[in-house]
Amino acid sequence: MTKIEEILSTAKDEFRKALFEHEAKTLLKELGIDTPDFAPVRSPEEAVRTAEEFGYPVALKVISPQIIHKSDAGGVVLNLRNANEVRAGCEAVISNARRFNPAAEIRGVLLEKMVPPSHEIIIGTTTDPQFGPTLMLGMGGIYVEIYKDVTFRVAPINRQEALEMIDELKGSKVLKGYRGQAASDVGAIIDLLLKATNLAMKYEAIDQIDLNPVVVYPKGLKVVDARIILKKE
């Protein structure tokens, strides 16, 4: 059994409707997709040790099978810059999560290295009952719901179709370098589109993939947030 199959099997055995974020990111790394450094931790002191290993600043996110949208539950804190902030952050995300859903099982906290800002995109897949996996690309981050600058394709796609998806975005001018700004790594975006599509097509257990934001640099990219929803039995 591969690492990816093991992760999906564990979630299925626990009757979960989604992977934990650290599972989703482990899965991505198995495919050669870059993410920030991350680690699940079980105590404030373990969080501090890990943060000092990764280097500050860091983010913390609650781990709970009942809380998929962690921000809605107050289960995310960002830009923590020292040990005291990390300790307080651990207590805050757990307290907020329990207040949001007193019945939620708290499995710990995901600690993640913050990454430098740059252009953000969103990549996702959904499973259409008729057509199967459908791929979406858009300008990402906090404004994705406002601007709705997105484009879609039915899987599978090739490199040319991935490039066409990028060209269809209104924000493609920004990605390709606008008014003296450095161009983003379009090749890395294409690779991620193809890998996300292949992931959705290969593993029947996956219903949806949501990678947002993906921070794209002049060389390379990092998937900052990853959510993988599983099909209902």
Q: What is the pLDDT of residues 29-63, one digit of tens each?
A: 999 999 999 999 999 999 999 999 999 999 999 99
Give mean pLDDT, residues 81-107. 97
Cα–Cα distance, 128 to 159 (Å, whole number): 22
User: Which class would CATH give 37-114?
Assistant: alpha beta
Instruction: Give the pLDDT of residue 146.
Output: 73
Bridge partner list, 108: 63
CATH for the stretch 119-230: 3.30.470.20
Instruction: Identify the band that residue 141 occupies on the pLDDT scale cut at 50, 70 and 90.
Output: low
Q: In a 3-state reduction of DSSP, which class is residue 123? A: strand
Check the CA dihedral 179-187-203-66 and report its sign.
negative
Given a cut of 70, is residue 142 above it in pLDDT?
no
Give mean pLDDT, residues 145-159. 91
* CA 38-101-104 angle, 5° bins: 60
DSSP string, 131-192: TEEEEEEEE-GGGHHHH--EEEEESP--HHHHHHHHHHSTTHHHHT--TTPPPP-HHHHHHH
Q: Of residues 140 and 14, which shows the higher confidence score?
A: 14
Give mean pLDDT, residues 199-221. 97
Give mean pLDDT, residues 91-115. 97
Instruction: Give the pLDDT of residue 179.
Output: 79
Query: What is this structure's pTM?
Result: 0.94
Peptide bond into 65 cis (omega under 30): no
Given a cut of 90, is residue 105 above it in pLDDT?
yes
Give mean pLDDT, residues 109-137. 96
Q: In a 3-state reduction of DSSP, which class is residue 114? A: coil
* DSSP symbol at 71: G
Given a cut of 90, is residue 102 above it in pLDDT?
yes
Give mean pLDDT, residues 89-102. 97
Lookup result for tokens 């790594």: 185
* DSSP symbol at 13: H
Lookup result for tokens 């209104």: 170
First-to-final CA distance of the chain: 21
Cα–Cα distance, 58 to 6 (Å, whole number): 28
Given a cut of 80, is residue 163 above it in pLDDT?
yes
Indicate the angle between helix axes 83-100 and 44-54, nearest 10 degrees: 130
Given a cut of 80, is residue 147 above it in pLDDT?
no
User: Burial of 107 by CB count in 10 Å (0-12 exposed, 13-18 middle, 19+ buried)?
Assistant: middle
Contact between 23 and 68 under an 8 Å Cβ cutoff? The reply is no
Cα–Cα distance, 224 to 78 (Å, whole number): 12
Q: For the chain, where do the domains classified as CATH 3.30.470.20 start and end?
A: 119-230
Lookup result for tokens 């601007």: 147
Q: C-alpha distances in angstroms, 167 versus 151, 174, 176, 195?
A: 10, 11, 9, 19
Average pLDDT of the chain, as a whole number: 95
Q: For the chain, where do the domains classified as CATH 3.30.1490.20 start and end?
A: 37-114
